[in-house]
C-alpha cells in the first residue's frame, strides 16, 4: 500500500500542474485509487461564475465512477500547503469509500504529509446506509 500511496501522490502532483485556477490562484491536484487498482486523477477547474467551478477531488472521483469504478480505497490531494478537502469533496469520496479508506494530504514539494482514514476525516457520515 505504501508504494500505491506514493504513486497516488505523484499522480496528484502531476494533475495539479493542469489546474485552472486564475481566480483563487490555489491549484489543487487529486488522485484516487480504486479497489481494482486503477488510478484516476483530476485538477480543480475554476470559472468566472464562481459556483460553477469544481474541485480536483471530485473531478478524480467522478472520472473513476464514470468509468465504472464503485469502490475507492485511497485519495491523495496535493496543494501548496497540504490543504484538506472541502466538505462536498469529503461527502463525494465517502459515497464510494469505506471507513478505512485512506486520505493523504501532501504539499507540492517535500515529504511532510498528513494521513487520515475516511472515518477520521468525516465521522458519523451520511451515506447510502442511512437511506435504507
Residues forming the active site? 57
Instruction: Please tell me the distance from the alpha carbon of residue 47 to that of residue 22, in angstroms, as a whole number.
Output: 8
CA distance 112 to 60: 23
Radius of gyration of the chain (CA): 14
Is there a contact between 47 and 76 (Cβ–Cβ < 8 Å)? no
Pair 64, 33: CB distance under 8 Å: no
Question: Is 67 strand, coil or helix?
Answer: coil
3-state DSSP assignment of residue 18 = coil
Neighbour-count burial for 61-72, b at 16+ CB within 10 Å, e otherwise: bebbbeeebeeb
Amino acid at each position: 500500500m505504501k508504494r500505491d500511496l506514493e504513486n497516488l501522490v505523484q499522480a496528484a502532483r502531476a494533475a495539479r500542474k493542469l489546474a485552472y485556477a486564475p481566480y483563487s490562484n490555489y491549484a489543487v491536484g487529486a488522485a484516487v485509487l480504486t479497489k481494482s487498482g486503477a488510478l484516476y486523477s483530476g485538477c480543480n477547474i475554476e470559472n468566472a461564475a464562481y459556483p460553477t467551478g469544481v474541485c480536483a477531488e471530485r473531478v478524480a472521483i467522478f472520472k473513476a465512477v464514470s468509468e465504472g469504478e464503485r469502490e475507492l480505497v485511497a485519495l491523495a490531494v496535493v496543494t501548496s500547503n497540504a490543504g484538506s478537502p472541502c466538505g462536498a469533496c469529503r461527502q463525494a469520496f465517502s459515497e464510494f469509500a469505506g471507513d478505512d479508506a485512506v486520505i493523504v494530504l501532501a504539499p507540492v514539494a517535500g515529504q511532510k504529509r498528513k494521513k487520515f482514514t475516511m472515518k477520521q476525516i468525516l465521522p458519523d457520515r451520511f451515506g447510502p446506509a442511512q437511506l435504507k
